[in-house]
Structure 1
């Protein structure tokens, strides 16, 4: 089964599969190595880790396509790619989908914010008109070469227009051909429980540690009918915490030893990046 068919099956099962976010190829390999069934290429994570900047629309199409291709080469699990607003109008969305499909995306996420977008849990968001948003989803659906490529439609309308307006947009996105729906930054437990009852297509719930949405466990979200439980930046937040801890020990103690330092071993790092496999290839060709 292709990775796109695998992802379609995972979302359709509506069992709350956890999908962590990857911000580079190594984080993707860690996620796959730990047994997760899919990954999410996070625009916020790539922006934070690659540019050292906040998630406010600073990443471009060619940059996210480059990261997508590198991550696709590193892992085989299904991959959802965050394409922000599609980097322009409906024609730009068409180009975005073509480019990310070639780069190896299995699912492309598009949102209805005004560009430049902001993190879904920031203040100051605005959304485009319903008509423009729907046409961008139609353009995305029409653009894909492989009919198994999934389109994930996100609305940020809760923050500006209210919950009912967001549900209405999600309905329209489904009618336009979106395969998965994502109502971002709902703020009450009742809204979380209501969405699977109100929308027929498989849905994604974004769990943001420290964000505005109440946190439910993945099993409970699965029982409610959510297909995907996204932890877009858990790995990123963990990586920052780990770096801060290790570097604080180094600063204070003026040394780090593999046996006692809060770091993975040298051997584990080489295993994760496939050093034994590269050594085997080296022996084969020399």
Structure 2
């Protein structure tokens, strides 16, 4: 009932433990707190919160317009609704190294289990758009070092994302990920990789977990979890998939409402009221309410 029973510190500890296990962990993207709870219900390993989704939720493009306050606030709302660890997209850290440090501590306070900081020029662009620019290695390293040094909980997982593949190629990516690990990154996130062989090449040069972004309509092919596991990927995210599916269904339903004047033909596509109530745990709220308000009014 209400929020997660597992503390943020314990979620982080368990996440660290799972990362060390060598499993390939699956983190679908949540677009709101309720979808995070469904991700847990369906048996996934964790919840991912995408910067693109947070921007879209506000009706904005993913070009660095969201603020730390908005991201941390929405992240907290999502993280508290599930027993699973939540990792979040922190863009470039909302500024330069000192801002990055504040970002990490704010996300710790929000109950987040881990976050990724990227090496794009600030303000950033969506990782699968053309025309990206990355900062030099010195600044990229300073961002990750600031993030690592600012942590108060050593179990907070620091993910270093690099977008350099699309700008300077695979060899530059290998050089950069090694420098980011040396700066304190716990996980490497090479963005917009094109083949399984490229993921394997990154796996060969770092000794920390590797994250794969399986976003639709982007630069990467949509590899299966098993294919990614075969080349040593440890963590897979589907950042915008659930939002895309939900918005697609909403668009079709609105078209039906326009054409038919009702949604009877869509009933079998809807979540049933009973399933929603189960997901929301109505029964526990009812028991709690009865336990608190168990008095009789004397007449």
Select which of 244, 247, 269 maps to 2:251.
244
Using structure 1 for the length normalisation, give the TM-score: 0.95
Change (3 A) 1:224 1:190: closer
**Correspondence 1:1-286 to 2 at 5 A:** 2-48=10-56, 50-257=57-264, 260-286=267-293
Structure 2 Cα separation of the partners of residues 271 and 235 of structure 1: 20
Tell me the SS of whatever aligns to 1:195: helix
Larger Rg: 2
Q: Is 1:11–1:203's contact at 8 Å kept on the other side of the alignment?
A: no
Structure 2 Cα separation of the partners of residues 196 and 40 of structure 1: 22
Using structure 2 for the length normalisation, give the TM-score: 0.91
What is the CA deviation profile of residues 212-246 of structure 1, one whole-angstrom value per residue up to 9, with x for unaligned ones?
11222101211211110111111111111221222
Cα deviation for residue 261 of structure 1 reads 4.7
Aligned length: 285
Q: Which 5+ residue runs of structure 2 have no aligned equivalent?
A: 1-8, 294-299
Tell me the SS of whatever aligns to 2:194: coil
Cα deviation for residue 163 of structure 1 reads 1.3
The higher relative CO (CA closer than 8 Å, separation ≥ 6) is in: 1
Structure 2 Cα separation of the partners of residues 225 and 13 of structure 1: 13
